[in-house]
Amino acid sequence: MLNSITNFSNDPVAVEKTLKLLQSTAQIAANIGYTSPDEATLWTVAKNQFALARRFFRLVKWIDCFNNGYAQYELYQHPRVSSEKAATGGNATSAQNGLHFLLVVSKWSLLGAYLFVEMFTIVDAVAGTWRPWAVATQTEALKLWFYALAVSVMLDLYEILVVYSSDSSAPVPATTPSQPASTSKGSPIKEDEKQAMRSTKSPPNAAPAAGTDSFAFNAAKRRSTYRQLVIDGCDLLIPGAAVGWLALDPITVGVAGSISALVGGSEAWARVNG
């Protein structure tokens, strides 16, 4: 158990999910009815500090997002590259069709744009000044996050209903025992980046392990995609409420954030202790 906790605490994704859970819990505590004004202020300060700590985990993650989107574009335009990398033990895969490709690239591009724009508000977030231009910039960044999550939800549904459906006849690429497991949707990103993006999963047509039939592989991928759909759906409420597009109270948003953090954290726990 001690080793499991140590592995979990040493994983950046796991730490970020823990901070997200603490932030959401503090938001709920700051807005429940029986909290006194002084206690609510303390919980709000705690929530802001947890949110600030999370910012540093994603400060330059926009680079990974744009790299993932460009890698998917290259593989879709030059599918021979994917087969060559697979033959040498690589884990690059391409989208199964044009719509799938469009959803994957749009998701990564919008997510990268959100993180890039938000990066410029880090000074105001640390100082707590929030000048008018920084407030406007943060609002636009949150809108981009909402768009990215909306596309990610559509991508999750498309994969559940089409790509990994029980009657799907899409061919599953062959693999060898020496081929490393893929770790993200449509791109060869590292394992520790798997949960850092509000939408990261295994590639759409990543090869199953040797000896695994395609039906079992699709079933496993559907379960993973269902979990990601829960995460994306809950996260979608956060920027939607922040920019005023969804009429939600802070407690509802806090509960949604807690569910997202728990589901994502459970996946991180299973991964680092698997």
Rounded to an integer, what distance in angstroms lies between the CA atom of residue 95 and that of residue 208? Answer: 16
- The answer to whether the beta carbons of residues 186 and 206 sit under 8 Å apart is no
66-71: long-range pairs with CB below 8 Å, 24+? 66/108, 66/109, 66/112, 67/187, 67/189, 68/108, 68/184, 68/186, 68/187, 68/189, 69/104, 69/105, 69/108, 69/109, 69/112, 69/187, 71/186, 71/187, 71/188
Residue spans per domain, the chain: 1-80+94-168+214-273
> What b/e readout covers 181-209, taking b as 16+ CB neighbours within 10 angstroms?
ebbbbbbbbeebbbbbbbbbbbbbbbbbe
- Taking only the tens place, the pLDDT of each residue in 165-210 is 766 555 444 443 333 333 333 333 333 334 334 443 444 444 454 4
10 against 140, higher pLDDT: 140
Let me know how long the chain is: 274
Q: Give the mean pLDDT of the chain.
A: 80
- Taking only the tens place, the pLDDT of each residue in 221-248 is 888 999 999 999 999 999 999 999 999 9
Residue 13 tokens read as: 């994704």
- The answer to whether the beta carbons of residues 159 and 202 sit under 8 Å apart is no
188 against 89, higher pLDDT: 89
